[in-house]
Structure 1
Amino acid sequence: MSALQGPHDLTRGAIAPTLLRFAVPTLLANVLQSLNGTINAIWVGRFLGEGALAATSNANLVMFLMFSLGFGFGMATTILVGQAMGAGDIVAARRALGTTMGLFAIVSVAVALLGWAVSPALLRLLATPDAAQPLALAYLRVIFLALPPMFLGVLLSMGLRGTGDALTPLLLIVLNVLIDAGLNPLLIRGIGPFPRMGIAGSATATLVANYVVLLVGLVYIYARDLPIRLRGREWRFLLPDWALLRVIFVKGLPMGLQMLVFTLSALVMIGLVNRAGVAVTAAYGVAQNLWAYVQMPAMAIGAGVSAMAAQNIGAGRWDRIGPITRVGVIANLVMTGVLILALLLFDRPVLALFLGGDSPAIGIARHIQFIASWSFLPFGVTLVLFSTVRANGAVYAPLLILCVSVFAGRIGFAAALLPRYGIDILWWSFPLGSTISLVLAALYYRFGNWRTPGMIAGLVHPGEEAAEQAKAATEPGGRINPTS
């Protein structure tokens, strides 16, 4: 029986309303995060110029590569928390999140200090332009100091989503955006009592926002007595549990590598696009900006499907797994399809916001959108299928499928045929790669062995910490029906 009651219990009730109640706040959080980055880029570009904007882009690439692996471990923790809550074992959920938080607190501080020292070498490795290196260094070093609250804040949000709570992470994102976007111009320009810090001011705004949000999040969790809080003897869950860490590493690393595959494919693709000239590169860059928003419904629905599936697997409700997946697929097709259709119908005024009404790149961007935008429909369905199988710990097949579809289906196809058929081959490689991944994902979902016992098996430690188990049974949102 689930350890949750009310709106955070994803193991009972109508599936479609429950999924949407989870996915919509997650979607809004994703949109706000992207808008925050866009707003900060506008502040930097307007106040400090193109060189500073190029510097932040190079520094942010370093941080994205690091977060790719962190994201995978966070997803593994989310699944563990979800399965534990579904199984009615709130102590196992706290142990899973506590172990990850304790480890990442140490690792993130070590990486922050190391990153500060090696930032010049990292920027040289990325071939950052000489003119942008001093600005990028000033920005990157402060961002490294913001790494601990960033990592821990992400883990807290993912842990909350594992318990079925998507609203609290949204509220924390709203607070983050308000502080970060609000402080950026004040610290860049030195407005009022604030010091004039230039590009370091933009990074400092991010640092302050993340530390404040982490503190507020912890206060809120304890004030509301949310299920993931630790008290008393539970504080020792912050010490490494090596059995849990092994599972989190084994399951989290492949999910983090999937993010790196996307990053690598994007770098290769932009290298091929750059050969076609400035206008095509500009058009493709704008298309990528718009595609970031087109993907958001699928990502939010995938997060909801993963959380729902994990709780239901933990509760033994396999009868709900198929319907959850079907509802997720339908919701993705409707939401993503409407967004793509609107983008294609109103593409000219939207593109003009980026390129100007008379830019020759607008026609190229419209052509790219018409060919490639539809690829996000099969991409979204694939993401939903992957979210379901990952909820039971199946992470290697999705990684293999992604590698095949990206490196063979997309990059291999584009690189092989580009010299003969021209630049359009690059745009057609997107629907081809997405179709290949959908076919392989559907075959694995239908015939694969992902339904075998899940990640939580052997991690509840029957009979251990009986005092905590009994205590949790009497707490709000605590354990109701201990697993055997």
Structure 2
Amino acid sequence: MFVVPMMLSNILQSLFGTINNVYLGQMIGVDALAAVSVFFPAMFFFVSFVMGLGSGAGVLIGQAWGAGEPAKVKQIAGTTLSIALLLGGLIAVLGGVFSRELLTALATPANILDAAAGYARIMMITMPLTFAYILLSLQMRGVGDTVTPLASLAASTTLGLVLTPVFIRGWLGAPVLGVASAAWASAISTLTTLAWLHLHLRRRKHPLAIDAAFLRGMLPDAKLLRAVLRLGIPAAIGMIVMSLAEMVLIGLVAIGYLFSRVLMGFFITDPAVIEVAQHSLHIVLWSSVLFGISITFSSAMRASGTVWMPLAISAFAIAAIEVPAATWLSRSIGLDGVWLAYPITFAAMMLLQMSYYLVVWRKRTVHRMI
């Protein structure tokens, strides 16, 4: 009952973004989809950092929980939440003022700049909510609870997917919000879910319920914070490095080959573009299985505090294998060469992570870090 809810959570998370993109592409148009997509690199960067914090905190929380120290659990969780909220608040202030400048720096085309800036502004202003939700979900897994994050994500996803088309069309008297519909739907669903989680965790007397002890733990502890950052920063950097490989959703592998034309048709309608996209999916989809195996090995090592070597292996695969392979193959066989670089890289990454895990890591003694 630990792994399955995590898998379902990943599927739901991917499903939310995918269906929201379908709404935007089909109900507004391709420019709306482009306006949302252009903010993705910045959003992924922000989320990567807080997920790195959450991963580091989750390892320490797991050790404290296993040692029977619930007070230490709350202290770690509180310290990490304080830093995440401070960072989220800074992004909210700067994003509210400079969202247009950020999108301009990202080379956003002029015809979608206004829509993209409006979407990005809402996403950044509500970043503290996003950070709190992500962090709390990761911390709950640290105490062995994967069911509550799944239930909260299911509720949040359902509410968000209902609200997005309501705001796009202005149904039931709602304002017509255009491209920003997805951002507002996400913010409302996240806030609602956080309120439910607070009540639910208090009622269950959950070890991560926000009570007086938790609030005291929100006064940052420098020693704990250093331990969290030591584990979390490499994990965050690793996520950013991995994003360069543009992972294809594992959940679509099984159906991708059979329904790739229909799948791409949800997002785009130009037959020529669909043909190119379908062909590209055929080249890349299967290799996401290799990438998933690589992530399994690297995650196991990070959970014990071995964080830099998995990161170094990933960075090496991107810099020394993927980029040269894509460059050389694209010159030799054209666009297909760029896509072929992905399975080559994922295969190399899997072999390198697995080799280090089996030859080196398994022979080490795992020590407590707090």
The normalised TM-score by structure 2 is 0.90
* 2:143 counterpart (160, 163, 188): 163
* AA in 2 matched with 1:395: V
CA distance in 1, matches of 2:254, 2:112: 39
Contact 1:222 1:229 in 2 (8 A): yes
Verify the 8 A CA contact 1:145 1:207 in the aligned structure 2.
no
Cross-structure match for 1:380: 292
Q: In the TM superposition, what is the alpha-carbon distance from 1:238 to its structure 2 partner? A: 0.7
- Cα separation, partners in 2 of 1:387 and 1:156, compared to 1, 3 Å: same
Which amino acid letter does the alignment assign opposite residue 79 of structure 1?
V
Match of 1:418 among 330, 349, 365: 330
Instruction: Please say if residues 146 and 206 of structure 1, whose CA atoms lie closer than 8 Å, have aligned partners that are also in contact.
Output: no
Amino acid at match of 2:81: M
RMSD after superposition? 2.4
- List aligned pairs for 1:74-153, cutoff 5 A: 74-153=54-133
Query: What SS does structure 2 have at the residue aligned with 1:443?
Result: helix
Kept after mapping to 1: 8 A contact 2:301/2:361: no
Does 2:254 match 1:344? no
Please give the residue correspondences for 1:2-41 in structure 2 after superposition, counting only pairs within 5 Å.
21-41=1-21
Matches within 5 A, 1:57-456: 57-266=37-246, 291-292=248-249, 294=250, 340=253, 342-345=255-258, 347=260, 350=263, 359=271, 364-365=276-277, 367-449=279-361, 451-454=364-367, 456=368
Q: TM-score, normalised by structure 1?
A: 0.70
* Ranges in structure 1 where 5+ consecutive residues have no aligned partner: 1-20, 267-287, 297-338, 460-484
- 3-state SS, counterpart of residue 192 of structure 1: helix
Q: Structure 1 residues 94, 378: closer, same or farther in 2, change over 3 A? A: same
CA distance in 2, matches of 1:231, 1:340: 43
Classify the secondary structure of the residue corresponding to 1:393: coil
Q: CA-to-partner distance for each residue in 1:315-362, whole Å, 9 max, x for gaps?
A: xxxxxxxxxxxxxxxxxxxxxxxx745543555555565566x93566
- Deviations 1:353-391 (CA, angstroms, capped at 9, x unpaired): 5566x9356665555444433322332221111111111
Higher RCO, Cα 8 Å, sep 6+: 1
CA offsets 1:265-322 (integer angstroms, 9 cap, x no match): 44xxxxxxxxxxxxxxxxxxxxx7xx32x1x5xxxxxxxxxxxxxxxxxxxxxxxxxx
The one-letter amino acid paired with 1:440 is: L
Question: Quick one: distance in 2 between partners of 1:351 and 1:208?
Answer: 29
Once residues 85 and 42 of structure 1 are traced to their aligned partners in structure 2, the CA distance between those partners, rounded to angstroms, is 41
| CA–CA distance in structure 2, aligned partners of residues 436 and 413 of structure 1 | 12
Q: Percent identity of the aligned residues?
A: 32
CA distance in 1, matches of 2:255, 2:164: 32
Asked whether the equivalents of residues 22 and 165 of structure 1 are also in contact (C-alpha less than 8 Å), the reply is yes
- Distance in 1 between the 2:262 and 2:21 partners? 21
Change (3 A) 1:350 1:191: closer
Specify every segment of 5 or more residues in structure 2 that has no aligned partner in the other structure, as ranges: none
Are the equivalent residues in 2 in contact too, given 1:265–1:411 (CA < 8 A)? no
- Once the two structures are superposed, residues 54-97 of structure 1 have per-residue CA deviations (whole angstroms, 9 ceiling, x without a partner) of 21222333212211111111111111111222222222222111
Cα 1:378–1:116 shift into 2, 3 Å: same
Q: Secondary structure at the match of 2:107?
A: coil
Structure (1 or 2) with the larger CA radius of gyration? 1
**Preserved CA contact (<8 Å) 2:294 2:354:** yes
- What CA distance in whole angstroms lies between the structure 1 residues aligned with 2:335 and 2:107? 26
- Structure 1 residues 206-215 or 179-188, which shifts more? 179-188
User: 1:392 aligns to what SS in structure 2?
Assistant: coil
Alpha-carbon offset, residue 233 of structure 1:
4.2
Q: Is the Cα–Cα contact under 8 Å of residues 75 and 217 in structure 2 kept in the other structure?
A: yes
* 244-253 vs 368-377, greater mean Cα deviation: 368-377
Task: Give the distance between the partners of 1:104 and 1:345, measured in 2 at CA.
Answer: 42
SS of residue in 2 equivalent to 1:418: helix
1:421 is displaced (CA, Å) by 3.8
Deviates more, 1:134-143 or 1:226-235: 226-235
